[in-house]
Amino acid sequence: MRVTQTMIANQTLRHIQSNYSQISKYQDQLATGKKISRASQDPVAATSGMFYRTQVREIEQFQRNISSAQTWVETSDQAVYDVNLAMQRVRELTVQASNDTYDETQRAAVAEEIAQIIDHIADVGNTQVNKKYIFNGTDAGEKPIAQAEFDMSIEQLTEMEGQEEGSIDGAVLYYEGNVYVWSDGAFSSDNEDLPDISIEDFGESVDPDKAVLFGPNAIQMNGENVNLELMKDVEIPVNVNGNDVFSHQMFGDLILLQRAMTDEEADIGHHLQTVDEHMDDILTVEAQIGAKQNRIDLTEARMDQQFVTATRIMSDNEDADISAAIINLVIHESVLNASLGAGARIMQPSLMDFLR
């Protein structure tokens, strides 16, 4: 085959252009840290990269959810622990006051401290995380406890009802260990064996000194679960049902205990049993929170491992090998210089050379 000067020149230019292309490729890798900068360079790697990045972003979202869950659960745990400490103090005071050596002044001081503890527990029930009330379920934007409606008198409730019909629907009567809710003009219990109680019954069949009245907004705990997705298709409730801790029964018993402290004839020791029962309920909730924390910790460890694995796979797919890119760049620069030198020698002859 006849090789012409034009063929040699064209082939030399193609080789030089190819070297420029390779140099540009490795310069892009060093500048971006990625194997490819356009999908057309490697469609398979580009498609896989989209999948891997989506997977990593999904895991990062789960990790953020886990962090939120930990904050929520840890705050709940501390709050319930504070209630437990408060109830322990109530028990200590009850034991002390049951001693017949306590005089009226000392028992009044105990009653005042119990009143402060009741307010403290109510404040704990209104604990917030990121402006959300953690014990109010899916109604986290609403304050669940209003101390102003604790221990109301029947006259106060009657006045509220007189201002607007139906305004005290949901008011609660705690009497002889039972909870009655106001509806349709009377207090009714879930226990069908217990008769309804009307306002007229107060002072007759109902002893006001043994009854505790709560306004309709005193305790409004939403018991719905607040679920967070911590893994794909795995959701867990991160909240504590406020009704399990901040119940009408507990506050009612504490208010009755406070009243008993100012009644010289009251049997203070009788209230120890109810205090112990509420403390047992609180301990049960603490155990549930502990189990929930353990599950979140295990999930966090698993997601951390998945994040490492997914990030490594994504890196293997699209991240450039910097050391290899530097070596290849130097090699192709050397090849380019050689190509330019060879081309310069080959293409030196011109028309003037042949006219001499």
pLDDT digits (tens, 9 = 90+) for 51-88: 888 888 999 999 999 999 999 999 999 999 999 999 99
Choose the weakest-confidence range: 125-129, 212-216, 315-319. Answer: 315-319
Note the pLDDT of residue 313.
Answer: 82
CA distance 150 to 169: 15
Asked if the model's pLDDT at residue 353 lies above 70, the reply is no
Read out DSSP for 153-196?
-HHHHHHHHHHSTTTTTT-EEEETTEEEEEETTEEE-SSTTSPP
Note the pLDDT of residue 351.
Answer: 57
Most trustworthy range by pLDDT among 27-36, 84-93, 98-107, 222-231: 84-93
Q: Which two tokens stand for residue 220?
A: 């409004």
Asked if the model's pLDDT at residue 124 lies above 90, the reply is yes
Note the pLDDT of residue 13.
Answer: 73
Give whole-number Cα distances, 137 to 283, 296, 351, in Å. 20, 19, 92
More confident residue, 322 or 168: 168
Burial of 336 (0-12, 13-18, 19+ CB in 10 A): middle
Note the pLDDT of residue 255.
Answer: 96
Note the pLDDT of residue 27.
Answer: 67
**Which residue's structure tokens are 């298709």?**
233
Confidence band (pLDDT; 50, 70, 90) for 168? confident
Give whole-number Cα distances, 139 to 132, 142, 300, 330, in Å. 9, 6, 27, 65
Confidence band (pLDDT; 50, 70, 90) for 146? very high
Average pLDDT over residues 320-330: 69
Counting every residue, how long is the chain? 356
Give 66's contacts (C-beta < 8 A, 6+ positions apart): 230, 296, 299, 300, 303
Q: pTM score > 0.75 for this model? A: yes
Note the pLDDT of residue 336.
Answer: 64
Confidence band (pLDDT; 50, 70, 90) for 32? low
Note the pLDDT of residue 64.
Answer: 93
Confidence band (pLDDT; 50, 70, 90) for 101? confident
pLDDT digits (tens, 9 = 90+) for 328-351: 667 766 766 776 676 666 666 665
Asked if the model's pLDDT at residue 166 lies above 60, the reply is no
Burial of 345 (0-12, 13-18, 19+ CB in 10 A): exposed
What is the residue type of 152?
Answer: M
Percent of the chain with pLDDT over 70: 78
Ranges of each domain in the chain? 146-218
Measured between alpha carbons, how far apart are the two ends of the chain, in Å? 28
More confident residue, 346 or 246: 246
Choose the weakest-confidence range: 65-74, 109-118, 141-150, 338-347. Answer: 338-347
Note the pLDDT of residue 352.
Answer: 58
Asked if the model's pLDDT at residue 4 lies above 80, the reply is no
Asked if the model's pLDDT at residue 41 lies above 70, the reply is no
For the chain, give the mean pLDDT: 84
Confidence band (pLDDT; 50, 70, 90) for 164? low
Note the pLDDT of residue 128.
Answer: 94
Average pLDDT over residues 317-332: 69
Of 338, 303, 269, 242, nearest to 91 (Cα)?
269
125, 144 Cβ separation under 8 angstroms: yes
